């Protein structure tokens, strides 16, 4: 008896991710769920240097600015609710000090620039097609930073607008790093603040636009991973959602990660991942008696395991 419908997925025969790969992750909060897995298992990665970016235009702005090495200055930031903000970045970068914010923005531009040039794989997760346009500057913002809504107009990006944005992202990356593989996915998190029907329309636009790009034979370095479809079909029960009934819970994230791992991670990474997992769990272990001889021996063995891994992968830090 079959009690679940499953999304058909095929393992990538080439271009797989291993411990020599360099990964850039950009987009919605779901990309951070996957990014946290890469971070836990100590893959080389950079995750959302400008914070969470929900829509494709925000990601496009970051990619283009990073490649062009944009220098953020006073004109790019503003003061609101006792903090300095930038419309291009998430509030995670906001700060009470204008100088600190500008330093964070420009440091993030530098790290993103370097990562785009060096990445073997770039994972882009799109969350919504709804955007807010600042009336004063006539530009689409990445984050409103709780500025009064009357200062913005809200719009749903068309499929063509999203397709053009994604093409700009891909073309810009390919010019400086033609070997990079770009993996698109759509976040399974529902943006119900836009409305339930409006959220469905938004996700439909994103999916249609991604497949417009994938259907173009010029973009053979682009791929799609069906995280949205896995969540809505294979994990359709509410027991796979967090308390807000909108975000996938830890079980769902792990399930989708296992699917992603099957498709994109090389089999020979399993041993190293297991070794890293042992160390990570050892670090998290809290001894009943930290001064005992047994615990000291455990710490010595753990340090030996760290050194063995770091001798093979010097970039790993625990």
Residues 205-221 have pLDDT tens digits of 999 999 999 999 999 99
Lowest mean pLDDT among 37-46, 57-66, 165-174, 293-302: 293-302
CB 91 within 8 A of CB 143: yes
Q: Which two tokens stand for residue 218?
A: 């010029």
* Percent of the chain residues topping a pLDDT of 90: 91
- Which of 222, 190, 25 shows the shortest CA–CA distance to 124? 25
β-sheet bridge partners, residue 8 = none
**Ranges assigned E (strand) in the chain:** 22-27, 44-47, 78-80, 83-85, 121-126, 130-134, 139-141, 152-156, 181-186, 222-224
Which pTM was predicted?
Answer: 0.95
Predicted confidence (pLDDT) per residue in 95-153, tens digit: 999 999 999 999 999 999 999 999 999 999 999 999 999 999 999 999 999 999 999 99
Which residues, 6 or more positions from 85, have their beta carbon under 8 angstroms from its beta carbon? 77, 78, 79, 91, 94, 101, 143, 145
Give the pLDDT band of residue 45 (cuts 50, 70, 90): very high
Q: Which two tokens stand for residue 217?
A: 């034979």
Q: Which two tokens stand for residue 24?
A: 């850039």
pLDDT attached to residue 187: 97
CB 163 within 8 A of CB 212: yes
Is 80 exceeded by the pLDDT of residue 200?
Answer: yes
Q: Where are the domains of the chain?
A: 22-266, 268-318
CA distance 93 to 284: 28
Within 10 Å of residue 310's Cβ, how many Cβ atoms? 14
Give the pLDDT band of residue 267 (cuts 50, 70, 90): very high
Average pLDDT (15-34) is: 95
For 22-266, give the CATH class: alpha beta
């Amino acid at each position: 008896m079959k009690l679940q419908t499953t999304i058909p997925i095929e393992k990538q025969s080439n271009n797989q991710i291993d411990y020599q790969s360099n990964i850039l992750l950009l987009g919605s909060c779901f990309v951070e769920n996957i990014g946290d897995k890469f971070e836990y298992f100590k893959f080389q990665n950079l995750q959302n240097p400008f914070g969470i970016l929900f829509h494709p235009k925000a990601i496009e702005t970051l990619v283009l600015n990073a490649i062009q090495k944009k220098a953020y200055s006073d004109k790019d930031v503003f003061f609101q609710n006792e903090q300095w903000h930038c419309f291009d970045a998430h509030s995670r970068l906001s700060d009470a000090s204008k100088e600190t914010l500008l330093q964070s923005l420009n440091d993030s531009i530098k790290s993103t620039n370097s990562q785009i040039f060096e990445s073997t794989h770039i994972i882009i997760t799109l969350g919504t097609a709804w955007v807010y346009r600042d009336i004063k500057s006539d530009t689409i913002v990445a984050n409103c930073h709780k500025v009064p809504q009357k200062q913005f107009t809200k719009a749903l990006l068309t499929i063509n607008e999203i397709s053009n944005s994604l093409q700009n992202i891909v073309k810009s990356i390919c010019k400086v790093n033609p070997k990079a593989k770009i993996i698109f996915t759509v976040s399974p998190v529902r943006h119900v603040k836009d409305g339930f029907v409006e959220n469905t329309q938004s996700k439909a636009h994103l999916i249609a636009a991604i497949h417009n790009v994938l259907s173009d034979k010029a973009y053979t370095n682009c791929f799609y991973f069906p995280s949205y479809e896995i969540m809505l079909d294979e994990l359709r029960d509410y027991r796979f959602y967090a308390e807000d009934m909108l975000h996938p819970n830890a079980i769902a994230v792990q399930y989708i990660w296992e699917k992603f791992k099957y498709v994109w991670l090389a089999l020979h990474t399993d041993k190293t991942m297991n070794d890293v997992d042992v160390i990570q769990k050892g670090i998290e272990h809290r001894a009943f008696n930290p001064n005992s001889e047994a615990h000291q021996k455990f710490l010595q063995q753990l340090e030996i395991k760290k050194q063995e891994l770091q001798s093979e992968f010097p970039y790993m830090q625990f």
